Structure 1
Amino acid sequence: MTKNETRGDHQKEKMIKVARELFATQGFEATTTRKINKEAGTAEGLLYYYFPHGKHEILDTIVYRGIMSRMNQVQISFEGCQTISDLEDRLMTVFERVWQVFQDEASYQSFMITIRERMLLSDKQADWLMQVLESLVSMISAQFKTISTILPVDATQYRPLARVITSIYQKVIYDELLIRNNREMTPAIKAALRPQLQLVLGLLQTA
């Protein structure tokens, strides 16, 4: 990589960082390309050199990176689970790992932008959102297969069960981050989540 390429990459990344911060604090519509260039300290027109489609292309980049980087950080394993109670504890751990992702400022900003500007998202961006949720569903479902001996349901129900659990996670995260503007994992959050998992897992045992 040449010196000019390195400098160019640095300028491009700086524009993305500045745009992400401005989109998160001021909103997409209120953020002009001129403001991005000014805050990034770049020459007028350089933004269109790196992003020919302007702000929407930057939004694409922010949404894609934010979504994919978040899910790549989450590792799930149900190895060692011997009872439904063990599974409940492991599902709490999975949630905490998902939650931890949002402690990174860039990931948090990307998430907020993605949700707040959802009406501006293209079909492609909306597909990315669905892919993230389906990726989590797939990971949980795959782990269910490793503990089939303790799950009192048929293997055909693993994915629907994983989708229900993912929906519970999603609701708690949205409530805390978007509605309450809370990024701290509090005992109250855990106390609210666990009974929901207990209910779902309890229904399995009575099925």
Structure 2
Amino acid sequence: MSNKPNTREAILDTASKLFFSQGYHATGLNQIIKDSDSPKGSLYYYFPHGKEELALTCINRTSLTVAQKLNCHMESCNSAAEAMEDFILGMAMDAVESSFEGIVPFSFWLAAETSCISEELRTACKSVFMDLQDVIKKRLLEEGVESNTAADKASVIVSLFEGALLQTLTLRDEQPLLAAAKIIPAILA
């Protein structure tokens, strides 16, 4: 087993990239080991329950990162509408700068592929969506929006954003994200 302190992160980074780019089922543990330059023992040391545990960790890590980024926008902007617009415009810029390969819909890659075969993965993907919605809902509540309306708007915003992100990646064009950034403030008004 490798004693390098970044072996676990290298495995997670590689697994996330492969799950995102080629899917859960098409990604094998041997490929993750090879592409991360990690010994096989390291993968099983850090993720003794194998591929599903590794995928769960990737989902949770991605969720935390995205929710923190969205939270920063919510805290630094004057309104939820401005925060979402800035957040989405930033994603559009990241998409272009990465040649549409460095970003992914946050849990689509696993939610659609594994929700029928793994309750744990489905639940983790559900948590990603709920965490994002909660960040938006919290800000809307602070702005005086009624609770049920805030929840509905947050759900629609996450759906619109995820769909725009998926279209952006498929079309290799930032226009769907730009359109979402333009429309979302009207929804949140």
Shift of 1:48: 1.0
Shift of 1:37: 1.3
The total of aligned residue pairs comes to 177
TM-score (norm 2): 0.70
Asked whether the equivalents of residues 62 and 110 of structure 1 are also in contact (C-alpha less than 8 Å), the reply is no
Structure 2 counterpart of 1:188: 179
Structure 1 counterpart of 2:149: 161
Shift of 1:66: 0.6
Q: 1:22 to 1:147 in 2, by over 3 A?
A: closer
Q: 1:115 to 1:124 in 2, by over 3 A?
A: closer
- Determine the C-alpha separation between the residues in 1 that align with 2:116 and 2:5: 27
Asked whether the equivalents of residues 137 and 163 of structure 1 are also in contact (C-alpha less than 8 Å), the reply is yes
Asked whether the equivalents of residues 111 and 122 of structure 2 are also in contact (C-alpha less than 8 Å), the reply is no
Structure 1 counterpart of 2:110: 114
Matched, 1:56 2:52: yes
Structure 2 counterpart of 1:178: 166
Q: 1:189 to 1:39 in 2, by over 3 A?
A: same
Q: 1:140 to 1:175 in 2, by over 3 A?
A: closer
Letter in 1 for 2:174: E
Percent identity between the two aligned chains: 20
Letter in 1 for 2:154: T
Asked whether the equivalents of residues 56 and 121 of structure 2 are also in contact (C-alpha less than 8 Å), the reply is yes
1:143-194: per-residue Cα shift (whole Å, max 9, x none)? 455444xx6xxxxxx2211112112212221221224426736543344434
Structure 2 counterpart of 1:70: 66
Asked whether the equivalents of residues 115 and 121 of structure 2 are also in contact (C-alpha less than 8 Å), the reply is no
- Determine the C-alpha separation between the residues in 2 that align with 1:120 and 1:97: 34
Structure 1 counterpart of 2:42: 46
Asked whether the equivalents of residues 21 and 109 of structure 1 are also in contact (C-alpha less than 8 Å), the reply is no
- Determine the C-alpha separation between the residues in 2 that align with 1:144 and 1:109: 23
Asked whether the equivalents of residues 14 and 36 of structure 2 are also in contact (C-alpha less than 8 Å), the reply is yes
Local SS of the residue matching 1:49:
helix
Q: 1:176 to 1:137 in 2, by over 3 A?
A: closer
Q: List runs of 5+ in structure 2 lacking aligned partners.
A: 96-100
Q: 1:159 to 1:33 in 2, by over 3 A?
A: same
Q: List runs of 5+ in structure 1 lacking aligned partners.
A: 81-89, 152-157, 202-207
Q: 1:78 to 1:20 in 2, by over 3 A?
A: closer
Letter in 2 for 1:94: A
- Determine the C-alpha separation between the residues in 2 that align with 1:69 and 1:45: 27
Q: Which moved more, 1:45-54 or 1:137-146?
A: 137-146
How much is the aligned-residue C-alpha RMSD, in angstroms?
Answer: 3.5
Letter in 1 for 2:64: M
Alignment of 1:188-207 (within 5 A): 188-195=179-186, 197=187, 201=189
Q: In terms of Rg, which structure is larger?
A: 1
